[in-house]
Structure 1
């Protein structure tokens, strides 16, 4: 299991939290959003989902992954 913290710009409310955490769950990862620090702590199995796929899924929701 891989754990990484991503800097994500554009999140500002609970809708943003649900959108990001929900999309991660849909692709087989789990995430915990911290609005104050604009970060997402992500846990994922590298054999099932790539870091690039995770970043793309978040960006598809309208957020900017740094």
Structure 2
């Protein structure tokens, strides 16, 4: 799944979002593209709703689903 997330600007943001997702599903593969403001999650069993909630709770703003 691809999620568009606002407020990401540095490697600290990448680490925070990656850890937030992996705390829910350690098998998820997380890739963060700061330029595109995309968080891509592959593998694992995390649902879209769980991922959005984790990103929000980490202090970042979910914008939309990416394609």
RMSD, aligned α-carbons: 1.2
What pairs up with 1:20-35 in 2 under 5 angstroms?
20-28=17-25, 29-35=28-34
The aligned residue for residue 17 of structure 1 is 14
C-alpha displacement at 1:12, in angstroms?
0.5
Runs of 4+ in 1 over 2 A off after TM superposition: none
Give the Cα–Cα distance (whole angstroms) in 2 for the partners of residues 8 and 14 of structure 1: 14
User: CA offsets, 1:20-57, max 9 Å, x none?
Assistant: 01111111033100001100111244xx4321011000
Is residue 2:46 matched to residue 1:41?
A: no
Gaps of 5+ in 1: none
**SS state at 1:62 partner:** coil
Please, what TM-score do these two structures have when normalized by structure 2? 0.82
Q: In the comparison of the two structures, how many residue pairs are matched?
A: 61
